[in-house]
Amino acid sequence: MHVLVTGAAGKVGRFVAAGLQSQGHRVRGSDIVEMPDLQETVVGDLGDFDLVRRAAEGVDAIVHLGGNPGTKPWPEIRNNNYVGCYHVFEAARELGIRRIAFSSRAGLLSSYPGGLQRTIDMLPRPKSLYDISKTFGEALGYMYSSRFDMEVVSVRIGNFNPDRDHPEHPHQLSHGDCVRVFTAAITHPGVKYEVIFGVSDSDWAMYDLDHGRRVIGYDPQDISHVAVADRKTDVDDDLPALPWRVPKRILITGAGGNIGRVVAAGLSQRFQIRGVDQVAMPDLPDHIVGDVADPGLCAKAMEGVDAVIHLAGVPSGGSPFEEVMACNFDGTFQMMDAASNAGVCRFVFASRAGLLGPYGRKNQRTNAMYPLPDSYYSISKVFGEGLGHMYANGHDMSFVSVRIGNFKPDRPAPEHPHQLGHVDAVHLFERAILQPDLRYEVVFGVSASDWPLYDMDQARQAIGYEPQQVSQVAEADRA
């Protein structure tokens, strides 16, 4: 097999490339520095699509390890970990390369109590832009597998040390098992989309490794031994609520849009509203016209603001990546960062109920279900929810993600369980900014229905949202 390894000069990449070569695979390496141990190399930046396409041309599979590790500022990590990752997937799609192994991170679950076994169905809890770039890559993997018939395995790597061959803790991945897991990820037949843990075995079973054995045949051979006295036992997952104050001035981004106009009009009877949009907002005396991705505009918009309702962004699932990146990714980051810097106490983010669309109509949707985004627009919502988790837990700004269903400006009353009525939209966002005693919540933004397709109890308990509008759906229409 001919394999492209991105990040082939890195601490993991060197071992993966050498291991694949020792098994008889032909390896091409890509990195920003020279790779003297490889005969086939492409040196350059993953932010250059033409270079990535050239690196991928003619290969059978890609192991994507490239990108910035650790803490980096947004412009740098944006180019290398977000745009670069997109370039790898898009080049593979254009060239007909069906199999990609993406290097994700076991640390996405590090915020869970130490006594809980980590399983694949646990929702990620990212703590940094680097972490969020891994949820981004996993989301891209699902999208490309579902829309373009590609085969993607996300390998959540644990701690890897080039100087330590044998694991000493369940978080660790040995040299030999590192090669084994990526070999399995690109060679195992019958894969569609999988996420597995890339750690070695341990007598303290902190990670569910049986899943990797079942879906890609990864059977780690190295094992760590941890004394019982050294094993964590805490399972308490309760985090304290963050400080909150009764808001007086609310910033609404996208205030000139379909939802923004309704919410702004409804909340203006009780709060001072400041609107931000790229279009004029004649009904709002306090408004700013401009781009939400402009850091200066964001800082100005936050002056005197207590809470933010962030609705702005490209609203279409068919929008190209570059447009979504500029509006939804950059805009959400700049707004949330400015809000944190200005001491805003509550950030409410407009996400999308459609993140759970692929589960079908036979299963009630709950916020414990893993998001399955099928467009760049949907992936931007996964990004926003991850960013909210980072700011809530690292910067003490409470966050509510409202997964909005279908909203029609010319249809005030809901006709389907996916829909959000106008009265409920105002009530929902009011509860999202007024509910004290929370840190991070994800709730569904839909009206009630006699067909309970969404679990609305969680929104009632988390933010006190009691939908007043109810859709009626005939039994024959519920298939």
Catalytic residues: 377
Residues facing 448 on adjacent strands: 470
Say if residue 283 is exposed, middle or buried (CB neighbours under 10 Å; 0-12, 13-18, 19+): middle
- Tell the residue number behind the tokens 């505009």, with chain if given: 297
Q: What long-range pairs does 47-51 form, CB within 8 A, spacing at least 24?
A: 47/79, 47/80, 47/83, 47/84, 47/87, 48/87, 49/87, 49/90, 49/91
Q: How far is CA 222 from CA 170, 175, 378, in A?
A: 11, 9, 39
CA angle 470, 262, 392 (to 5 degrees): 90
Nearest to 99 by CA among 135, 65, 156, 60: 60
Integer angstrom CA distances of residue 27 from 47, 50, 145, 157, 179: 21, 20, 24, 21, 13
Q: Alpha helices, DSSP H only, in 57-128?
A: 74-77, 84-95
Paired strand residues for 339: none
Backbone torsions φ then ψ of 221, nearest 5 degrees: -105, -20
Residue 280: burial class (beta carbons within 10 Å; 0-12, 13-18, 19+): exposed
> Measuring CA to CA, which residue among 15, 59, 466, 337 is closest to residue 198?
15
Positive or negative torsion for Cα 245, 248, 253, 259: positive
Sign for the CA dihedral angle at 444, 154, 184, 91 comes to positive
- Of 64, 139, 149, nearest to 329 (Cα)? 139
